[in-house]
Amino acid sequence: MESKSFTTGNRDNPNTDLHGSKNMMASHFLRALFRIQQTSTSSSSFAGRSRRIRRAAYASMAYSAGARRAWSRALLRKLRSRARLRFPRRLSRTARPQRRDMDQAQVLRKLVPGGPSMDYCKLLEETADYIRCLTTQVRLMQTVMDSISSYAHHPMIP
Amino acid sequence: MSSRRSRISEEEINELISKLQSLLPETRRRGPGRVSAAKLLQETCNYIRSLSKEVDDLSDRLSALMETMDNNSAEAEIVRSLLRS
C-alpha cells in the first residue's frame, strides 16, 4: 500500500507529543472499528453501526489527549456515563449581530466539551487543542476510508 | 472580573486568539487590519461545527463501506497493515 501513512507522514518530528498521540488515536480507532465490524451482524442497522463508529471517533480523540486536557476529561466523563453524544450542529444564524467576543465565547462554550466551566482564557486554550485533535481525527478517518475503499476496488489476488 | 486581572491577561488573550486564527482554514483573503475577536470566535464556532459534521459524515460512509465487506481475513489484513503504518 503506497498511500501516505497517517502517523508517519511527517518525518520532521518523530518524537513530538502529537506524533505519540496520533499513534494512540489511530490504533484505538482502528481497534474499535475492527471490533465493530466483528460484532456487526447482517441484522445490524446502518444507523446503529454509524453511531458506534462516531462514538469510537470521539473516544479515540479523548483517549489520545487523556487526562491532560479539560476537554478530553469532560469528553471521557460523557463517554463513560454512556450518555448520547450530542453536539450543537446548527450554523450560527443570529438574529442580532454578536459584537462582543464575550457573546461568541458563550456560543463556543457549548461546542467544546467541558466548555461551560471554563473561564475565557482556558476556553481559548482548550479550543485550540480540541480543534487540532478534531482535524487529526477527521484526517485519520479519511485515511481509513481511502485504504478500505481502495482495497474494495482492487482486491489483492492471492 | 477585576480590571487588574483583565489588564494583565489581555496580551495573553490576544496571543491565544491569534493561535486560534492560525488553526482556522484560510478563507477569502482579508484586507489589511486585524479581524475582530468576535468574528474570529464566530468562525471558530463554525469550523468546529463543520469538523463535527465531517466526523458524522465519515462515520456514515465507513458504516456503508463496512456493510459491503464480508471477508474477515481481508479486513484483518487491512487493519493490520494500517496499524503497522
Give the gap in angstroms from C-alpha B21 to the nearest C-alpha of chain A. Answer: 9
Residue where the block lists cell 482502528? A30
Question: Quick check: is B10 in a domain?
Answer: no
Any CB–CB contact under 8 A between B62 and chain A?
A: yes
- The residue segments making up the domain with residue B81 are 34-85
Give the gap in angstroms from C-alpha B31 to the nearest C-alpha of chain A. Answer: 19
Any idea where the domains of chain A sit in the sequence? 18-86+103-152
Tell me, what's the pLDDT at A134?
A: 97
Beta-carbon contacts below 8 Å between A and B: 158
Question: Quick check: is B3 in a domain?
Answer: no
Question: Quick check: is B63 in a domain?
Answer: yes
Grid coordinates representing A36 are: 465493530
Question: Quick check: is B49 in a domain?
Answer: yes
In this complex, which of B20, B58, B82 lies closest to A124 when CB atoms are compared?
B20
| pLDDT < 70 stretches in chain A | 1-19, 88-102, 151-158
Alpha carbon A129 to chain centroid, angstroms: 12
Q: Are A58 and B55 in contact (CB under 8 A)?
A: yes
Any CB–CB contact under 8 A between A132 and chain B?
A: yes
Grid coordinates representing A97 are: 449581530
Distance CA B36, CA A81 (A): 38
Whether residue A53 and residue B62 make contact (CB cut-off 8 A), yes or no, is yes
In this complex, which of B51, B76, B78 lies closest to A148 when CB atoms are compared?
B78
Question: Quick check: is B25 in a domain?
Answer: no
Tell me, what's the pLDDT at A138?
A: 97
Number of domains in chain B: 1
Grid coordinates representing A95 are: 438574529
Q: Is the pTM for the entire model greater than 0.90?
A: no
Any CB–CB contact under 8 A between A80 and chain B?
A: no
Tell me, what's the pLDDT at A11?
A: 45
Residues 6 or more apart whose CB falls under 8 angstroms from that of A4 comprise A143
Whether residue B51 and residue A134 make contact (CB cut-off 8 A), yes or no, is yes
pLDDT at position B74 over 70: no
Distance CA A101, CA A96 (A): 14
Full DSSP string of chain A: --SPPTTTS--S-TTSHHHHHHHHHHHHHHHHHHHHHHH--TTS-HHHHHHHHHHHHHHHHHHHHGGGSHHHHHHHHHHHTT-------SPP--SS---SHHHHHHHHHHHSTTGGG--HHHHHHHHHHHHHHHHHHHHHHHHHHHHHHHHHHSPPP-
Whether residue B51 and residue A138 make contact (CB cut-off 8 A), yes or no, is yes
User: What number is the ipTM of this complex?
Assistant: 0.81
Q: What average pLDDT does the segment B25-54 reach? A: 82
Any CB–CB contact under 8 A between A1 and chain B?
A: yes
Q: Are B65 and A147 in contact (CB under 8 A)?
A: no
pLDDT at position B82 over 80: no
